[in-house]
A and B are shown apart, each in its own frame.
Chain A
């Protein structure tokens, strides 16, 4: 099975004089695979995710998203590729405050024709697909269509963000500590729902967190210090 994401000998430093922050010899995520990455704060995990989604470029190495080499791609094309093939979930403040929850879920489809097409292939309109996802994530689409996102609880906000990442079934969802703001029960429920949808659409999940105990639920659990060779001698 082809890799959704693959890094080979990638090196990254924030500036020419700074010590290299990140050196990944080989790392890949397979289609539909759930990968967990844990590591200390400030060690470079978010930086890795920024590289993987084509927002940052490494100084060295090969970096492929669905077989497309990001390092040689113009920045506009990288933005488009991210819009089409990646769903992104932040730790907090995932939603556009000026849009209601339903509009937030639909927003990526306005940027990406590829996502729109995949939704259409399911025989659904974008809004209907969004409603289905919200329902599957145990949210009430009726209520969310009218409510301000700032009035939602953090747990609800994270589920709306998950629905947004899932809509249009991108091959890869990147989640940067999506459960850190949630307490234990809500966190478990959130992961259950996210996993179910990823499985349903065969979406690969790359999730980063401090909380090592989450790792047991994933196909693969990695420690950042094993992956990152920077600073090794």
Chain B
């Protein structure tokens, strides 16, 4: 009976109900979307660098180094020489040194000059290795391996010829070398990391890209590098090696531990994150307030209805429960609509979030914390519903069966 009365009342006041649901849906969707993007960002950032112990770049800000070397956000200001990479590679504590030379692009996707070590030693997620969904690693000068997202933009796939451009932009200028097409020899399986959106070529290929056509026959020396990813023989040597690299003489270097820098990054972003979350909580709070006010305004017109319910045997507690259930139904509908809306929004903005923020994973998979999150939202709605419910309870006790004005 309780549910019937509450549901019928809401249906009877369709317009008000719909408006309350819309307001709550708006609040919930904003809150939920921001929470998803936030946790998605953390998840996808954290899963991007799993197997790397140290990242080495030119002297500069550690967070910058982290951002441009693994997340492909922004550009390196300074570069390091290939000689330094060779030196690092031969260091006794180092198991693998993966060079990264960036600066070129294909239709807005980064072209990364590296070695085949990248495919064997790079790890993402929970220590997962890169897998070729088709083809193999590059061997020849004009071989290119593409990530999953890049492969989707190809027309033929394996064997297709690509023209790579100098510089990083969506459109290619006339500096692109039309006479130097690369051949797709490998396609990587999906990783949900920036790897998906990258193309990989050998280091000499980068040098060749930047050379004038007439000088192309000369032997190719190695290009300058953007960063070097290090994997160590023994984890415990990481601090010593970091100190050693940071005090490196011939060239000023910065070595960072990805996990430490990632934590610093979150601390830096934490404030903005909290402001966003606070704002969305405010929006949600206001939408709940709207519901409370709408229910409160409705109460006065419903006093006779309450008296009728009392006359046919309802207790004041029943009256209280009717309003609580109404608030609960409204907010449940609002939550369902809001979550659906936020998923639709995330889905619509996914390409944008992926290219601008590097978010590729975690946004769509519901997390265990979401349950708590939604329970907290329902809890808030219950509290908000208590206000009109309590007033209705008091009112029906005072009114009894006779409703008086005022």
- Judge whether B267 is part of the interface by a CB distance below 8 angstroms: no
Known: A98-B9, A98-B11, A98-B12. A107 touches B400 (CB 8 A): no
Separation of A217 and B4 alpha carbons in the complex (Å): 40
Question: Chain B residues near A53 (CB, 8 Å)?
Answer: 311, 401
B240 at the interface (CB under 8 A from A): no
Q: Indicate with 1 or 0, residue by residue over B287-322, a CB within 8 angstroms of chain A CB atoms.
A: 000000000000000001101111111111100000
Alpha-carbon separation in the docked complex, A176 to B1 (Å): 26
Contacts of B316 in A (CB 8 A): 75
Task: State the main secondary structure of chain B at its contact with A.
Answer: helix
Beyond A55-B400, A88-B401, whether A96 also contacts B314 by CB under 8 A is: no
CB-contact partner of B402 in A50, A82, A97, under 8 A: A50
Pair A107/B312 contact, Cβ less than 8 Å: yes
Q: Given A99-B8, A111-B1, are A50 and B401 also a contact pair (CB < 8 Å)?
A: yes
CB–CB B11/A46 < 8 A: no
Which chain A residues border B313 with CB–CB below 8 Å? 79-80, 82-84, 108, 111-112
A27 contacts B by Cβ under 8 Å: no
Nearest A residue to B307, CB-CB: A90
Residue contact A164 to B312, C-beta cutoff 8 Å:
yes
Q: With an 8 A cutoff between CB atoms, is A93 at the interface?
A: yes
In the complex formed, the residue of B with least CB distance to A56 is B400
Q: Report the interface size class on chain B.
A: 20 to 34
The residue on A at minimum CB distance from B402 is A46
By beta carbon, the residue of chain A nearest B301 is A97
Residues of chain A from 91 to 150 with CB closer than 8 A to chain B in the complex: 93-99, 107-108, 110-112
**Knowing A55-B310, A88-B401, A90-B308 touch, does A110 contact B315 (C-beta < 8 A)?**
no
Chain A interface, number of residues (Cβ within 8 angstroms): 29
Shortest A31–chain B CB gap in Å is: 21
Task: State whether A49 and B308 are in contact (beta carbons under 8 Å apart), knowing that A79-B313, A84-B313 are contacts in the complex.
Answer: no
A-chain residues with CB within 8 Å of residue B11 when the two chains form the complex:
98
Query: From residue B256, how far is it (CB to closest CB) to chain A in Å?
Result: 65
Q: Mark B365-406, 1 if CB is under 8 A from A, else 0.
A: 000000000000000000000000000000000001110000
The answer on a CB contact under 8 Å between B402 and A79 is: no
Contact B312–A76 (Cβ < 8 Å): no
Residues from chain B with Cβ under 8 Å of A107 in the complex: 312
Q: Measured between C-beta atoms, what is the minimum distance from A47 to chain B in Å?
A: 8
Q: Is the CB of A76 within 8 A of B311?
A: no
Residues of A within 8 A of B12 (CB): 97-98
* Chain A residues with CB under 8 A of B315: 75-76, 79
Q: Which residues of A contact B402 (CB under 8 A)?
A: 46, 50, 176
- Pick the contact of B308: A46, A83, A96 (CB < 8 A): A96
For chain A, residues 52 to 86, give those with C-beta under 8 angstroms from any C-beta of chain B.
53, 55-56, 75-76, 79-80, 82-84
Interchain CA distance A96-B11 in the complex, whole Å: 13
Contact A94 B308 (CB under 8 A): yes
Which residues 1-56 of B sit at the A interface, judged by CB distance below 8 A?
A: 1, 4-5, 8-9, 11-13
* Contact among A90, A97, A110 with B311 in the assembled complex (CB-CB below 8 Å): A90
Contact of A96 with B400 at beta-carbon distance under 8 Å, contacts A79-B314, A111-B312 already known: no
Give Cα distance in the complex from A50 to B312, angstroms: 13
Residues of B within 8 A of A111 (CB): 1, 312-314
With beta carbons under 8 angstroms apart, the residue of A75, A76, A80, A90 that contacts B401 is A90
Closest-by-CB residue of B relative to A110 is: B1
User: Contacts A50-B401, A55-B400, A76-B317 given: A97-B312 contact, CB under 8 Å?
Assistant: no
Q: How far is the CA of A84 from the CA of B313 in the complex (A)?
A: 7
Could you tell me the distance in whole angstroms from the C-beta of B302 to the nearest C-beta in chain A? 9
Complex Cα–Cα for A83 and B305 (A): 16
Report how far A88 CA is from B11 CA in the complex, Å: 26
Residue of B nearest to A108 (CB): B312
Within 8 A of A (CB), among B305-343: 305, 307-317
Q: In the complex, which residues of chain A have a beta carbon less than 8 angstroms from the beta carbon of B311?
A: 53, 82, 88, 90
Which B residues are in CB contact (< 8 Å) with A108? Answer: 312-313
Nearest CB of chain B from residue A119's CB, rounded to whole Å: 14
Q: Which residue of A lies closest to B2 (CB)?
A: A110
Tell me the complex Cα distance, A164–B5, Å: 16
How far apart are the CA atoms of A50 and B311 in the complex, in Å? Answer: 10
In Å, the complex CA distance between A163 and B94 comes to: 92
Within 8 A of A (CB), among B102-144: none
Given the interface contacts A80-B313, A83-B313, A110-B1, does A95 sit within 8 Å of B401 by beta carbon?
Answer: no
Residues of A within 8 A of B308 (CB): 90, 93-96
Find chain B residues with CB under 8 A from A76 CB.
315, 317
For the complex, give the distance between the alpha carbons of A34 and B9 in Å: 36
Q: Which of B5, B305, B312 has the most CB of A within 10 A?
A: B312
Residues of B within 8 A of A84 (CB): 313
In whole angstroms, what is the CA distance A98 to B326 when docked? 13
Q: Which residues of B contact A96 (CB under 8 A)?
A: 5, 8, 305, 308-309
Provide the bound-state CA to CA distance between A36 and B308, in Å: 22
CA distance A90 to B399 in the complex (A): 14
Evaluate contact between A98 and B8: CB separation under 8 angstroms: yes
A176 to B317, CA, bound (A): 25
- Known contacts A90-B308, A96-B308, A98-B12, then 14 further A-B pairs from the complex at CB < 8 Å, ordered by chain A residue: A46-B401, A50-B402, A53-B311, A55-B310, A55-B400, A76-B315, A79-B315, A90-B307, A96-B305, A108-B312, A108-B313, A110-B1, A111-B1, A111-B313
**Between-chain CB contacts (< 8 Å), 5 pairs:** A46-B401, A55-B400, A76-B315, A98-B9, A108-B313
- 5 shortest interchain CB distances as A-B pairs: A83-B313, A98-B12, A111-B313, A88-B311, A55-B400
